[in-house]
Every structure is written in C-alpha cells, then in structure tokens.
Structure 1
C-alpha cells in the first residue's frame, strides 16, 4: 500500500507530460494517512523536475493522533516557487458549512487563484470572518481537546470493527476510519446492507475511486456512545 502515499515512479510518461498540477491531501481523507518529510521532499523534487504545481489540502492539519503531527509542505526548502497549501476551518474548529478557509504559498499562484475566486464568489460574510479570527486565536489546549475527542472515538470504532473481523489500521489523522471489508462483499453491497439492516450510513470505498473498492469509510463525527451503538448494531448482521 506504500502507506497510502503515491509512488511517483509508477506514473506513466505520457500522463506525466500532460500534468500541470499535483494535488496532495494529508492528513488524508479517507485513509487517515500522514505524509512525512521524506515523502514531501520527494514530492517537491518530483514537481520541480516536471514543472508541476503542488496543491496540498490541509483540511485536517490539526486532527492527528498518538502524538503525531502533520507536516506542512511549506517547510520544505524551495517549495514556495510552485506550491499552494490550503486550510479549512470546517474540521478543526467545527465550522462545517461556513465555507471558510485560507491559502498560503507562492504570490503569483495566489494572485491567479484570486482572479478566479473573485469571479465565482463575492466573499464570506464578514461576521463569519471575525469568528474565524477568534478560532485562530484559540490556545493549544483547545485544539488538544479536539484531538483527544476524535482519538477516543477512533479507538472505540477501530476496536469494535476488529472484534467483528474487519481489517483496520489505526488512522494517524483526519476524522475517518478506512476499513477493509471482510466476507468477500464489495463496498456498494456492504453500504446498502449496513443502511438497510442497521440504519448505519457509511461511504463505500468505490465511491471514492476505483482503488477504494474493498474498503468502507466510517466517520468519527458521532459521539462515543453512538459509535458503541453502531458496533452493536453491526454485530446483529448475519454475514
């Protein structure tokens, strides 16, 4: 699996010749993988060599587990020549639906992005922007509490799935658990079975791309008691 990191050497030359942008997302949705500095350095070198712009989606940047921390690609030397890093208020600060975020990186790329953005959106309501300023002013202990909450939920769900013979690795970040389906069922059939027999809504891996077949994505947005209930409901399935 290569720790859910892309292998640049496997990209076909004919595809690479047409590439303009490399889109990364770590901590990753749906796998929960993190990218270390060694990988980020390879990504930067690869992008420079092939004249590709890097866009790193850091929507889950602060939601990491077991003492791990996500690395900003902007800390890699020379990357600011061809990189943008995007951040969201939705996950870390619970501001989903407010449609607030920000981008950091190369000035020319940001100017180009701004030209597109002002043509599509008129801007976020200023009261929401002020709320975002307050969110960015929160102390580290507040973010630590968010991490602890999600990690406790992760531990409950991962243990429950393993007890039910699902193959699950502990996600290192994000708000999802990426689980390999047992019993030889495909992801769409499993998703339908879960919602019809237990009332549990999940995301079939195939819905996230062909490489996701054989997996299910579970969310950690529900509290601990609801996750325990979900595991109990899954035990009632006759598979």
Structure 2
C-alpha cells in the first residue's frame, strides 16, 4: 500500500536497510559488530557546550516556541565564523538562517524552489538527500559522475556540468556541490569553485553547496567556501552543520548562508513547517561557535589518528585503500577478489563473516558501485581488531553473490 503514494513511489528501497537489518540480527545473537557503517560521531560534545545547554534550559522562558529563522545571537555567531574562517561578510538578518541540521535545510530549500519537472545537477555518488530531497519535491535529477577519483577530477566534473546543461530541457535549476565530499572524501580548491561559479552565473543556475565537513581536514590548507568567490552570492547558498565539527549530531543544528533570495525562500517554507530548534540548543550552539576552538583541533587530531591507523592496518591486512585528505570517511575500492559480486554483496559478506559493518557504495548512487564507505567512528583498538578480522576474511573467504541486490 505504501507504494501507492506518489512521492513514495519515486523513492527506491533504502539499500542501507539490508546491511542494517543484518547488523541488528547479529547483535541480537550477541555478536560483536565493529560498525563503520554510519557517519555518527562517537565523541562526547565538548563540556562547555553542554554546560551552556544545561544553564539555559533551567530558564523556563527558553521553553517556549523559538523562531524558525533562528535566534539573532546564533545568526551573528555564524556570520562571525564566516568572517574569521573564510574572510566572508554575511548579513545575519538577510543572508543567514538556522536549520535543523544541513539535511533538513537542504530538503526544505528543495521544497521551496523546485517545481515539478525542474532539473537538478547532482553529483553521483552523493549523500542521499542531495538528490532525493529534490526528487521528493518533484524535480528530476541529472547525475554528474564524481566517484572514482581517477583522472583530472576538475576537468571531468566541468565537462559533466556542460553536458548536463547542453542536454537538459528545461535548463537545470541548480547544481549541488559537496566538498569535502561525502562519501568519496574528494576535496577541491578555490579555483575549482571559481570555475563553477563562473559557469553557473553565465547559465543562471543556482549553486547549493554542502560544507558539512569544512573543519574535518588533515592537511595544512583548510577547505574553502564557495562564498569566497567574488559574485558567488548572486547565485549560491551554502549549508553548514555543527554535527561533525563539535560532535553534536543529535542536537540537529546547522545553517544556510548566502544568496538573499534563496535564504528568504527557505525562511518562508520553514515558517510554515517548524518553529526552529529548541532555544537552549541554539544558545549552546552559539557558545560552540563563539567559544574556545581547541575542541575542534582535538576532533581533527582524533580523526587523523583513526584514518592513519585504519589505512595502515588495512594495508597490512591486504586491502590497500586511499588515505583521505578530509572528512571522517575512507572511500575504499572493493578488494579485487570480491569485485565481481558488487559493493552490497561484499558489505553483507564482510558483516556476516568478519563482523565488520561498512556502507556499500551503490547506496550513494550507481557510480558508487565498486566502493564501500568506511566511517572513522570506532576507536583505534577497535579499528585494529577490525583489520585483523578482515585479514582473516580476505585470506579464507570466497566471494558469494548471495547478497547481490535483485
């Protein structure tokens, strides 16, 4: 019966559900599963942020409805963050809005700006809401391949954008960017953003950028913001989140900043569907942005250590995976021995036989096939244990296609 609803019919079965079901069954049997499948930070939220939440929630005046656009103090804190991090001045009243995480913000913006049949250029593979948020809103997706990391990424991406415009009727409404990218961990420089902005301004296409992993980087050069490009705010809006930066995934607080028209459209939709995040959460988020930032350095060091241990341990186990420059994920090619069965079957077999959960690449789009995403969400001891399990698995197990998607 559920498939009789129009919007539901446009959503394929959630492919991660198969791995999640196997994981739940294994844990119900008492098996110890080392779970790299979900990008769910395991570190506690920094204490000064928690203390501000507790302090604020004791004031009964903060228990009333908040405001869907976000409290002024938090929007000012976001503007201050953009000023010090990117040297970009954001008007907190017209160019910024608080969201219930970047996922909600992007989905509601899709509802605000998408008409039935509008075409969106979205990377593939991608975080599911980047494409399905617009499918739910009635749009059509034209995929921009962004998966293997082989060749000249910038040239291939721009060529795909040009093809998308040349072969789309009507002209694309918007292009989705997500760098550093989930799931591939691909990073880009400011010159890349400048070329995309120039192209999209010429063709009058909006840019919707997801910068959720802006602070999870491991080199000397921080990832840029598309809003650093002169003229970008004529067409671009950018989503950020506190989930990864401050280990606040369950708090559900993020932002959109940039083009005044897009921000106003998102604000109009949100005024009908929510009253904003709980005020104490917003006050605590303000403390996160305005307070000491050593916790961000600690977060970055933690993920770097886990990345290095994972890559080195898997190499010793016989599985060579690339070391990402950013994000909390490793985008790993399926071992050659298992390449013929596909990423879903491999992920299910890895879970069943090695007791290690990963996310199959095909769950992020067809161009994610042949890869799995490994989240850096277990401590180093667990990572080393997983590598030992995987080493035995690779040496002793034979590929099985019983887990292939129908």
* TM-score greater than 0.5 by the shorter chain: yes
Q: Does 1:235 align with 2:396?
A: no
Q: Does 1:7 align with 2:160?
A: no
How far, CA to CA, are the matches of 1:233 and 1:78 in structure 2? Answer: 51
Q: What SS is found at the alignment partner of 2:249?
A: coil
Q: What SS is found at the alignment partner of 2:262?
A: helix
The verdict on how the C-alpha distance between 1:17 and 1:9 changes in structure 2, with shifts beyond 3 A counting, is farther
The verdict on how the C-alpha distance between 1:114 and 1:3 changes in structure 2, with shifts beyond 3 A counting, is farther
After TM superposition, where is structure 1 displaced by more than 6 Å over at least 4 residues in a row?
A: none
Count of residue pairs the alignment pairs up:
239
Q: Does 1:149 align with 2:302?
A: yes
Gaps of 5+ in 2: 1-149, 398-406
Structure with the higher fraction of residues in helix conformation? 2
Match for residue 186 of structure 2?
33
Q: What SS is found at the alignment partner of 1:15?
A: coil
Q: 8 Å contact 1:179–1:216 — kept in the other structure? A: yes
Larger Rg: 2
Instruction: Output aligned runs, 1:60-99, within 5 Å.
Output: 60-99=213-252
RMSD of the alignment, in Å? 1.6
Match for residue 201 of structure 2?
48
**1:181 Cα deviation after fit:** 1.0
How far, CA to CA, are the matches of 1:138 and 1:204 in structure 2? Answer: 38
Gaps of 5+ in 1: none
Q: TM-score, normalised by structure 1?
A: 0.94
The verdict on how the C-alpha distance between 1:166 and 1:2 changes in structure 2, with shifts beyond 3 A counting, is same
Q: TM-score, normalised by structure 2?
A: 0.57
Aligned match of 1:108 in 261, 278, 294?
261
How far, CA to CA, are the matches of 1:141 and 1:106 in structure 2? Answer: 31
Q: 8 Å contact 2:317–2:388 — kept in the other structure? A: no
**1:4 Cα deviation after fit:** 5.2
Q: What SS is found at the alignment partner of 1:218?
A: strand
Aligned match of 2:375 in 207, 219, 230?
219
CA displacement 1:154-185 (0-9 Å, x = unmatched): 01111122223334221111110000111124
Bigger CA drift: 134-143 or 63-72? 134-143
Bigger CA drift: 82-91 or 157-166? 157-166
